[in-house]
Structure 1
Amino acid sequence: MEQNHYSGDEPRPPPYSTYDPQSSFNGMSYQVGKGNIAVISPPSPYNNTVYPGERAESDSPDHDQAPPEYLDDSEGNAFSDATLRRGFIRKVYLILMVQLLVTVGIICAFLYWDELREWTRGNYWFSYSMIVAVFVLILALSCCDQLRRKVPINFIALGLFTIAEGLTLGSVTVYYNAEAVLWAVGATAFVSFALSVFAMQSKWDFTAAYGSLWVFAWTLFSFAILCAILRSQYLYITYACLGTLLFSLYLVFDTQLMLGGTHRKYAVSPEEYVFAALNLYVDIVTLFLLLLQLIGLCR
Protein backbone atom coordinates (compact mmCIF):
# COMPACT_ATOMS: atom_id res chain seq x y z
CA MET A 1 0.00 0.00 0.00
CA GLU A 2 1.39 3.37 -1.02
CA GLN A 3 1.85 5.81 1.86
CA ASN A 4 1.73 9.58 1.53
CA HIS A 5 4.69 11.51 2.97
CA TYR A 6 4.91 15.21 3.48
CA SER A 7 8.01 16.97 2.23
CA GLY A 8 9.87 19.41 4.36
CA ASP A 9 8.53 22.44 2.46
CA GLU A 10 4.88 21.45 2.70
CA PRO A 11 2.84 22.69 5.67
CA ARG A 12 1.58 20.01 7.97
CA PRO A 13 -1.91 19.89 9.53
CA PRO A 14 -2.19 21.24 13.07
CA PRO A 15 -1.34 18.63 15.69
CA TYR A 16 -3.86 17.40 18.22
CA SER A 17 -3.52 19.27 21.46
CA THR A 18 -5.38 19.92 24.64
CA TYR A 19 -8.29 22.27 24.39
CA ASP A 20 -7.61 25.90 25.23
CA PRO A 21 -10.73 28.08 24.96
CA GLN A 22 -8.55 31.22 24.79
CA SER A 23 -6.49 30.07 21.77
CA SER A 24 -7.45 30.48 18.12
CA PHE A 25 -6.46 28.89 14.83
CA ASN A 26 -4.84 31.25 12.28
CA GLY A 27 -5.66 29.07 9.33
CA MET A 28 -3.39 27.25 6.86
CA SER A 29 -3.44 25.09 3.73
CA TYR A 30 -1.59 21.89 2.97
CA GLN A 31 -1.29 19.41 0.14
CA VAL A 32 -2.84 15.98 0.38
CA GLY A 33 -0.92 13.27 -1.43
CA LYS A 34 0.65 13.84 -4.83
CA GLY A 35 -2.46 15.10 -6.55
CA ASN A 36 -3.87 18.55 -6.94
CA ILE A 37 -6.06 18.33 -3.86
CA ALA A 38 -5.42 20.87 -1.10
CA VAL A 39 -7.14 21.37 2.26
CA ILE A 40 -7.59 25.00 3.29
CA SER A 41 -8.62 25.91 6.85
CA PRO A 42 -9.78 29.51 7.38
CA PRO A 43 -8.82 31.41 10.52
CA SER A 44 -11.31 30.79 13.33
CA PRO A 45 -11.39 30.30 17.11
CA TYR A 46 -11.58 26.83 18.51
CA ASN A 47 -15.11 25.84 19.58
CA ASN A 48 -14.64 22.33 20.85
CA THR A 49 -17.89 21.93 22.79
CA VAL A 50 -17.46 18.19 23.16
CA TYR A 51 -14.09 18.23 24.82
CA PRO A 52 -14.25 15.92 27.85
CA GLY A 53 -13.94 17.34 31.30
CA GLU A 54 -14.64 20.96 30.34
CA ARG A 55 -17.86 23.01 30.02
CA ALA A 56 -18.29 24.97 26.82
CA GLU A 57 -18.79 28.70 27.01
CA SER A 58 -21.99 30.08 25.50
CA ASP A 59 -23.14 33.58 24.66
CA SER A 60 -26.81 32.63 25.15
CA PRO A 61 -28.42 34.34 28.18
CA ASP A 62 -30.28 31.12 28.99
CA HIS A 63 -27.28 28.81 29.16
CA ASP A 64 -27.26 28.80 32.96
CA GLN A 65 -31.01 28.19 33.38
CA ALA A 66 -32.29 24.79 34.50
CA PRO A 67 -34.65 22.89 32.18
CA PRO A 68 -38.38 23.22 32.91
CA GLU A 69 -39.64 21.02 35.70
CA TYR A 70 -41.49 17.90 34.59
CA LEU A 71 -44.98 17.73 36.03
CA ASP A 72 -46.63 14.35 36.21
CA ASP A 73 -50.38 14.93 35.85
CA SER A 74 -51.29 11.30 35.31
CA GLU A 75 -53.14 11.17 38.62
CA GLY A 76 -54.76 14.61 38.31
CA ASN A 77 -58.29 15.12 37.16
CA ALA A 78 -59.59 17.05 34.18
CA PHE A 79 -60.51 20.03 36.37
CA SER A 80 -56.95 21.11 37.23
CA ASP A 81 -57.63 24.33 35.35
CA ALA A 82 -60.00 26.50 37.42
CA THR A 83 -61.13 28.48 34.37
CA LEU A 84 -62.10 25.32 32.54
CA ARG A 85 -64.04 24.10 35.56
CA ARG A 86 -65.97 27.35 35.95
CA GLY A 87 -66.90 27.36 32.28
CA PHE A 88 -68.07 23.77 32.50
CA ILE A 89 -70.24 24.52 35.56
CA ARG A 90 -71.82 27.55 33.89
CA LYS A 91 -72.64 25.51 30.81
CA VAL A 92 -74.20 22.69 32.85
CA TYR A 93 -76.39 25.00 34.92
CA LEU A 94 -77.46 26.97 31.85
CA ILE A 95 -78.61 23.76 30.16
CA LEU A 96 -80.31 22.63 33.37
CA MET A 97 -82.14 25.94 33.73
CA VAL A 98 -83.50 25.69 30.17
CA GLN A 99 -84.62 22.11 30.83
CA LEU A 100 -86.46 23.07 34.02
CA LEU A 101 -88.17 26.06 32.39
CA VAL A 102 -89.40 23.90 29.51
CA THR A 103 -90.61 21.25 31.98
CA VAL A 104 -92.48 23.76 34.14
CA GLY A 105 -94.13 25.23 31.05
CA ILE A 106 -95.36 21.80 29.93
CA ILE A 107 -96.67 21.02 33.43
CA CYS A 108 -98.58 24.32 33.53
CA ALA A 109 -100.18 23.46 30.19
CA PHE A 110 -101.50 20.21 31.65
CA LEU A 111 -102.67 21.95 34.81
CA TYR A 112 -104.57 24.86 33.29
CA TRP A 113 -105.66 23.58 29.87
CA ASP A 114 -108.86 21.76 30.68
CA GLU A 115 -109.24 20.01 27.30
CA LEU A 116 -105.70 18.61 27.49
CA ARG A 117 -106.27 17.58 31.10
CA GLU A 118 -109.43 15.64 30.27
CA TRP A 119 -107.91 14.09 27.17
CA THR A 120 -104.89 12.82 29.16
CA ARG A 121 -107.13 11.26 31.80
CA GLY A 122 -109.09 9.43 29.14
CA ASN A 123 -106.05 8.10 27.21
CA TYR A 124 -103.82 6.03 29.43
CA TRP A 125 -101.64 4.96 26.52
CA PHE A 126 -100.18 8.47 26.30
CA SER A 127 -98.64 8.30 29.77
CA TYR A 128 -97.16 4.82 29.23
CA SER A 129 -95.77 5.71 25.81
CA MET A 130 -94.04 8.78 27.25
CA ILE A 131 -92.52 6.68 30.05
CA VAL A 132 -91.11 4.25 27.48
CA ALA A 133 -89.72 7.12 25.40
CA VAL A 134 -88.02 8.59 28.48
CA PHE A 135 -86.32 5.30 29.36
CA VAL A 136 -85.15 4.77 25.77
CA LEU A 137 -83.64 8.25 25.58
CA ILE A 138 -81.96 7.87 28.99
CA LEU A 139 -80.34 4.61 27.91
CA ALA A 140 -79.24 6.12 24.60
CA LEU A 141 -77.68 9.18 26.23
CA SER A 142 -76.03 7.12 28.96
CA CYS A 143 -74.58 4.38 26.75
CA CYS A 144 -73.64 6.22 23.52
CA ASP A 145 -70.64 8.51 24.01
CA GLN A 146 -70.92 10.14 20.59
CA LEU A 147 -74.63 10.85 21.07
CA ARG A 148 -74.03 12.99 24.15
CA ARG A 149 -70.73 14.55 23.03
CA LYS A 150 -71.19 15.40 19.35
CA VAL A 151 -72.73 18.79 18.64
CA PRO A 152 -75.55 19.40 17.68
CA ILE A 153 -76.94 15.88 18.00
CA ASN A 154 -76.35 15.90 21.77
CA PHE A 155 -78.53 18.99 22.22
CA ILE A 156 -81.22 17.52 19.95
CA ALA A 157 -81.29 14.27 21.95
CA LEU A 158 -81.33 16.15 25.25
CA GLY A 159 -84.14 18.38 23.99
CA LEU A 160 -86.22 15.38 22.97
CA PHE A 161 -85.62 13.81 26.37
CA THR A 162 -86.65 17.03 28.15
CA ILE A 163 -89.89 17.26 26.16
CA ALA A 164 -90.67 13.58 26.75
CA GLU A 165 -89.99 13.95 30.48
CA GLY A 166 -92.12 17.10 30.64
CA LEU A 167 -95.02 15.31 28.95
CA THR A 168 -94.62 12.42 31.37
CA LEU A 169 -94.72 14.74 34.38
CA GLY A 170 -97.68 16.59 32.90
CA SER A 171 -99.61 13.36 32.46
CA VAL A 172 -98.93 12.58 36.13
CA THR A 173 -99.93 15.98 37.49
CA VAL A 174 -103.43 15.75 35.98
CA TYR A 175 -104.34 13.42 38.86
CA TYR A 176 -103.43 16.07 41.47
CA ASN A 177 -104.92 19.48 42.09
CA ALA A 178 -102.98 22.57 41.08
CA GLU A 179 -102.26 23.63 44.67
CA ALA A 180 -100.50 20.35 45.52
CA VAL A 181 -98.44 20.56 42.32
CA LEU A 182 -97.35 24.12 43.09
CA TRP A 183 -96.39 23.12 46.63
CA ALA A 184 -94.31 20.26 45.21
CA VAL A 185 -92.62 22.61 42.71
CA GLY A 186 -91.75 25.07 45.48
CA ALA A 187 -90.46 22.34 47.82
CA THR A 188 -88.35 20.83 45.00
CA ALA A 189 -86.84 24.22 44.16
CA PHE A 190 -85.99 24.91 47.81
CA VAL A 191 -84.50 21.46 48.46
CA SER A 192 -82.50 21.46 45.22
CA PHE A 193 -81.04 24.90 45.88
CA ALA A 194 -80.11 24.04 49.48
CA LEU A 195 -78.50 20.74 48.53
CA SER A 196 -76.56 22.33 45.65
CA VAL A 197 -75.12 24.98 47.97
CA PHE A 198 -74.25 22.28 50.52
CA ALA A 199 -72.51 20.18 47.85
CA MET A 200 -70.44 23.18 46.72
CA GLN A 201 -69.37 24.19 50.23
CA SER A 202 -69.01 20.83 51.93
CA LYS A 203 -65.64 19.09 52.20
CA TRP A 204 -67.33 15.73 52.64
CA ASP A 205 -66.68 13.57 49.63
CA PHE A 206 -70.00 12.02 48.62
CA THR A 207 -68.44 10.71 45.38
CA ALA A 208 -66.67 8.04 47.42
CA ALA A 209 -70.06 6.70 48.59
CA TYR A 210 -71.19 5.57 45.14
CA GLY A 211 -71.42 1.91 46.18
CA SER A 212 -73.51 2.72 49.24
CA LEU A 213 -75.95 4.80 47.20
CA TRP A 214 -76.28 1.99 44.67
CA VAL A 215 -77.14 -0.50 47.43
CA PHE A 216 -79.62 1.97 48.92
CA ALA A 217 -81.29 2.40 45.51
CA TRP A 218 -81.77 -1.33 44.96
CA THR A 219 -83.11 -1.71 48.52
CA LEU A 220 -85.63 1.05 47.84
CA PHE A 221 -86.63 -0.64 44.61
CA SER A 222 -87.37 -3.85 46.52
CA PHE A 223 -89.37 -1.84 49.03
CA ALA A 224 -91.39 -0.31 46.16
CA ILE A 225 -92.39 -3.82 45.01
CA LEU A 226 -93.53 -4.57 48.57
CA CYS A 227 -95.60 -1.36 48.62
CA ALA A 228 -97.25 -2.32 45.33
CA ILE A 229 -98.26 -5.70 46.79
CA LEU A 230 -99.50 -4.53 50.22
CA ARG A 231 -101.04 -1.23 49.05
CA SER A 232 -100.77 0.51 52.39
CA GLN A 233 -100.87 4.30 52.64
CA TYR A 234 -98.32 4.30 55.46
CA LEU A 235 -95.95 2.21 53.38
CA TYR A 236 -96.40 4.66 50.50
CA ILE A 237 -95.52 7.56 52.81
CA THR A 238 -92.45 5.71 54.09
CA TYR A 239 -91.41 4.91 50.54
CA ALA A 240 -91.79 8.57 49.49
CA CYS A 241 -89.70 9.72 52.46
CA LEU A 242 -86.93 7.21 51.79
CA GLY A 243 -86.96 8.03 48.09
CA THR A 244 -86.68 11.75 48.83
CA LEU A 245 -83.68 11.03 51.06
CA LEU A 246 -82.03 8.83 48.44
CA PHE A 247 -82.35 11.27 45.56
CA SER A 248 -81.31 14.15 47.78
CA LEU A 249 -78.07 12.26 48.33
CA TYR A 250 -77.85 11.57 44.61
CA LEU A 251 -78.25 15.29 43.89
CA VAL A 252 -75.32 16.07 46.20
CA PHE A 253 -73.34 13.20 44.63
CA ASP A 254 -73.93 14.36 41.05
CA THR A 255 -73.22 17.99 41.95
CA GLN A 256 -69.85 17.04 43.43
CA LEU A 257 -69.10 14.91 40.38
CA MET A 258 -69.64 18.01 38.27
CA LEU A 259 -67.61 20.28 40.55
CA GLY A 260 -64.60 17.97 40.80
CA GLY A 261 -61.66 19.23 42.85
CA THR A 262 -58.70 17.79 44.68
CA HIS A 263 -60.77 16.48 47.58
CA ARG A 264 -63.17 14.52 45.30
CA LYS A 265 -62.51 10.92 44.46
CA TYR A 266 -64.32 11.05 41.09
CA ALA A 267 -65.14 13.82 38.62
CA VAL A 268 -66.99 14.13 35.33
CA SER A 269 -64.98 14.99 32.21
CA PRO A 270 -65.47 18.56 30.88
CA GLU A 271 -66.72 17.04 27.63
CA GLU A 272 -69.65 15.45 29.47
CA TYR A 273 -71.64 18.63 30.09
CA VAL A 274 -74.77 17.06 28.56
CA PHE A 275 -74.41 13.98 30.75
CA ALA A 276 -73.87 16.12 33.87
CA ALA A 277 -76.97 18.21 33.11
CA LEU A 278 -78.94 15.02 32.46
CA ASN A 279 -77.97 13.58 35.86
CA LEU A 280 -78.93 16.72 37.76
CA TYR A 281 -82.19 17.04 35.84
CA VAL A 282 -83.19 13.43 36.57
CA ASP A 283 -82.42 13.90 40.27
CA ILE A 284 -84.54 17.05 40.49
CA VAL A 285 -87.43 15.55 38.51
CA THR A 286 -87.46 12.43 40.69
CA LEU A 287 -87.42 14.60 43.81
CA PHE A 288 -90.44 16.47 42.43
CA LEU A 289 -92.38 13.25 41.82
CA LEU A 290 -91.62 11.90 45.30
CA LEU A 291 -92.50 15.17 47.01
CA LEU A 292 -95.70 15.40 44.97
CA GLN A 293 -96.62 11.88 46.04
CA LEU A 294 -95.81 12.71 49.67
CA ILE A 295 -97.90 15.88 49.62
CA GLY A 296 -100.78 14.12 47.94
CA LEU A 297 -100.75 11.30 50.50
CA CYS A 298 -100.59 13.64 53.48
CA ARG A 299 -103.39 15.98 52.36
Structure 2
Amino acid sequence: FRSYYSSKSVFLCIGITALVCLGVTIFCFQTKVDFTSCRGLFCALGIGLFVSGIVVTITLSFKYIPWLHMLYSAIAAIVFTLFLAYDTQLILGNRRHSISPEEYVYGALRLYTDITQIFINLLQLFGSR
Protein backbone atom coordinates (compact mmCIF):
# COMPACT_ATOMS: atom_id res chain seq x y z
CA PHE A 1 0.00 0.00 0.00
CA ARG A 2 1.48 3.28 -1.07
CA SER A 3 0.32 6.55 0.44
CA TYR A 4 -0.08 9.48 -1.94
CA TYR A 5 -0.59 12.24 0.62
CA SER A 6 0.91 12.90 4.03
CA SER A 7 -1.23 12.37 7.11
CA LYS A 8 -0.91 16.04 8.04
CA SER A 9 -2.35 17.22 4.72
CA VAL A 10 -5.19 14.66 4.86
CA PHE A 11 -6.23 15.78 8.36
CA LEU A 12 -5.95 19.44 7.30
CA CYS A 13 -8.28 18.82 4.36
CA ILE A 14 -10.69 16.87 6.58
CA GLY A 15 -10.82 19.85 8.94
CA ILE A 16 -11.32 22.36 6.13
CA THR A 17 -14.07 20.18 4.60
CA ALA A 18 -15.83 19.89 7.96
CA LEU A 19 -15.70 23.66 8.47
CA VAL A 20 -16.99 24.30 4.94
CA CYS A 21 -19.87 21.85 5.44
CA LEU A 22 -20.75 23.36 8.81
CA GLY A 23 -20.62 26.88 7.39
CA VAL A 24 -22.78 25.98 4.38
CA THR A 25 -25.32 24.23 6.60
CA ILE A 26 -25.59 27.20 8.97
CA PHE A 27 -25.85 29.54 5.99
CA CYS A 28 -28.65 27.46 4.43
CA PHE A 29 -30.63 27.40 7.69
CA GLN A 30 -30.74 31.18 8.11
CA THR A 31 -30.49 32.73 4.65
CA LYS A 32 -33.30 34.09 2.55
CA VAL A 33 -31.36 33.34 -0.65
CA ASP A 34 -33.08 30.50 -2.52
CA PHE A 35 -30.54 28.37 -4.39
CA THR A 36 -33.23 25.92 -5.49
CA SER A 37 -34.67 28.45 -7.91
CA CYS A 38 -31.35 28.51 -9.83
CA ARG A 39 -31.50 25.02 -11.36
CA GLY A 40 -30.34 26.25 -14.77
CA LEU A 41 -27.29 27.95 -13.28
CA PHE A 42 -26.26 24.80 -11.42
CA CYS A 43 -26.78 22.70 -14.54
CA ALA A 44 -24.54 25.08 -16.50
CA LEU A 45 -21.92 24.98 -13.71
CA GLY A 46 -21.92 21.18 -13.78
CA ILE A 47 -21.58 21.02 -17.56
CA GLY A 48 -18.85 23.67 -17.51
CA LEU A 49 -16.93 21.81 -14.83
CA PHE A 50 -17.27 18.55 -16.76
CA VAL A 51 -16.06 20.03 -20.06
CA SER A 52 -13.20 21.92 -18.43
CA GLY A 53 -12.23 18.73 -16.59
CA ILE A 54 -11.91 16.91 -19.90
CA VAL A 55 -9.82 19.74 -21.36
CA VAL A 56 -7.58 19.89 -18.28
CA THR A 57 -7.14 16.10 -18.30
CA ILE A 58 -6.11 16.08 -21.95
CA THR A 59 -3.78 19.05 -21.43
CA LEU A 60 -2.15 17.57 -18.34
CA SER A 61 -1.64 14.20 -20.02
CA PHE A 62 0.76 15.81 -22.52
CA LYS A 63 2.59 18.12 -20.12
CA TYR A 64 1.94 18.51 -16.40
CA ILE A 65 1.26 22.14 -15.49
CA PRO A 66 0.95 22.46 -11.69
CA TRP A 67 -0.88 25.80 -11.65
CA LEU A 68 -3.52 24.49 -14.08
CA HIS A 69 -4.16 21.47 -11.87
CA MET A 70 -4.44 23.72 -8.81
CA LEU A 71 -6.74 26.17 -10.62
CA TYR A 72 -9.08 23.38 -11.70
CA SER A 73 -9.13 21.93 -8.16
CA ALA A 74 -9.94 25.34 -6.65
CA ILE A 75 -12.76 25.98 -9.12
CA ALA A 76 -14.15 22.46 -8.60
CA ALA A 77 -14.08 22.89 -4.80
CA ILE A 78 -16.02 26.16 -5.11
CA VAL A 79 -18.56 24.66 -7.53
CA PHE A 80 -19.16 21.63 -5.30
CA THR A 81 -19.57 23.95 -2.31
CA LEU A 82 -22.34 25.68 -4.25
CA PHE A 83 -23.81 22.26 -5.09
CA LEU A 84 -23.72 21.44 -1.36
CA ALA A 85 -25.70 24.60 -0.58
CA TYR A 86 -28.23 23.74 -3.31
CA ASP A 87 -28.65 20.14 -2.12
CA THR A 88 -28.89 21.21 1.52
CA GLN A 89 -31.73 23.57 0.68
CA LEU A 90 -33.43 20.84 -1.35
CA ILE A 91 -33.38 18.59 1.71
CA LEU A 92 -34.41 21.30 4.18
CA GLY A 93 -37.46 22.23 2.11
CA ASN A 94 -39.42 25.49 2.61
CA ARG A 95 -38.03 26.75 -0.70
CA ARG A 96 -39.30 26.87 -4.26
CA HIS A 97 -38.19 23.27 -4.89
CA SER A 98 -37.60 20.46 -2.41
CA ILE A 99 -37.38 16.71 -2.29
CA SER A 100 -40.00 14.64 -0.53
CA PRO A 101 -39.25 12.93 2.80
CA GLU A 102 -39.49 9.54 1.08
CA GLU A 103 -36.39 10.42 -0.96
CA TYR A 104 -34.08 10.62 2.05
CA VAL A 105 -31.61 8.10 0.57
CA TYR A 106 -31.36 10.16 -2.61
CA GLY A 107 -30.76 13.32 -0.57
CA ALA A 108 -28.13 11.64 1.58
CA LEU A 109 -26.29 10.39 -1.50
CA ARG A 110 -26.29 13.87 -3.01
CA LEU A 111 -24.80 15.33 0.17
CA TYR A 112 -22.26 12.52 0.36
CA THR A 113 -21.03 13.05 -3.20
CA ASP A 114 -20.79 16.83 -2.69
CA ILE A 115 -18.79 16.45 0.52
CA THR A 116 -16.54 13.79 -0.99
CA GLN A 117 -15.81 15.92 -4.03
CA ILE A 118 -15.03 18.95 -1.86
CA PHE A 119 -12.58 16.84 0.16
CA ILE A 120 -10.90 15.34 -2.93
CA ASN A 121 -10.48 18.72 -4.60
CA LEU A 122 -9.14 20.30 -1.41
CA LEU A 123 -6.69 17.41 -1.08
CA GLN A 124 -5.49 17.98 -4.63
CA LEU A 125 -5.15 21.67 -3.87
CA PHE A 126 -3.49 21.57 -0.43
CA GLY A 127 -2.17 18.03 -0.19
CA SER A 128 1.56 17.43 0.10
CA ARG A 129 2.94 14.20 -1.23
**TM-score, structure 2 as length reference:** 0.91
Q: Among residues 206, 212, 221, which one is paired with 2:35 in the alignment?
A: 206
Give the AA of the match of 1:205.
D
Correspondence 1:282 to 2:80: no
Question: What do you get for the CA RMSD once the two structures are aligned?
Answer: 1.4
Aligned to 1:294: 125
The DSSP-based 3-state class of the residue aligned with 1:271 is: helix
- Offset at residue 276 of structure 1 (A): 1.1
Matched letter for residue 14 of structure 2: V
How far, CA to CA, are the matches of 1:223 and 1:211 in structure 2? 18
Which residue of 75, 78, 92 maps to 1:259?
92
Partners of 1:257 and 1:218 in 2: how far apart?
A: 20
Q: How far did 1:220 drift?
A: 1.2
Distance 1:230 1:296 in 2: 21
* Distance apart, 1:294 and its partner CA: 0.4
1:223 partner SS = helix
How many Å apart are 1:176 and its aligned residue? Answer: 0.8
Name the residue aligned to 1:240. Answer: 73
Q: Tell me which stretches of 4 or more aligned residues in structure 1 moved more than 4 Å.
A: none
Once the two structures are TM-superposed, the CA of residue 228 in structure 1 deviates from its matched residue by: 1.4
Counterpart secondary structure, 1:187: helix
Aligned partner of residue 215 in structure 1, secondary structure:
helix
The structure that is helix-richer by fraction is 2
Provide structure 1 residue ranges, at least 5 long, that are not aligned to the other structure: 1-117, 122-173
Quick one: distance in 2 between partners of 1:243 and 1:200?
24
| Corresponding position of 1:91 | none
1:180-219 paired onto structure 2 within 5 Å? 180-219=9-48
Cα shift at 1:278: 1.1
Residue 228 of structure 1 is matched in structure 2 by 57
Shift of 1:230: 2.0
Question: Distance between the aligned counterparts of 2:25 and 2:104, measured in 1?
Answer: 17
Once residues 53 and 68 of structure 2 are traced to their aligned partners in structure 1, the CA distance between those partners, rounded to angstroms, is: 9
Q: Whose RCO is larger (CA < 8 A, sep 6+)? A: 2
Alpha-carbon distance, 1:217 to partner:
1.1
Query: Larger % of strand: which?
Result: 1
Distance 1:233 1:222 in 2: 19
Q: Quick one: which amino acid aligns to residue 35 of structure 2? A: F
Please list the CA deviations of residues 87-113 of structure 1 after superposition, one character each: whole Å capped at 9, or x if unmatched.
xxxxxxxxxxxxxxxxxxxxxxxxxxx
3-state SS in 1 of match to 2:102: coil
Match of 2:82 among 210, 231, 249: 249
CA distance in 1, matches of 2:54, 2:110: 24
Secondary structure of 2:43's match? Answer: helix
**In the aligned structure 2, how far is the partner of 1:222 from the partner of 1:276?**
25
Find 2:7's aligned residue among 166, 178, 193: 178
> Residue 51 of structure 1 aligns with which residue?
none
Query: Which residue in 2 is equivalent to 1:273?
Result: 104
Report the alpha carbon displacement of residue 290 of structure 1 after superposing the two structures with TM. Answer: 0.5
Q: Deviations over 1:191-210 (max 9, x none)?
A: 00001110111111000111
Amino acid at match of 1:265: R
**Paired residue type of 1:209:** C
Aligned runs of 1:94-173 on 2, under 5 Å? 118=1, 121=2
* Percent pairwise identity: 40
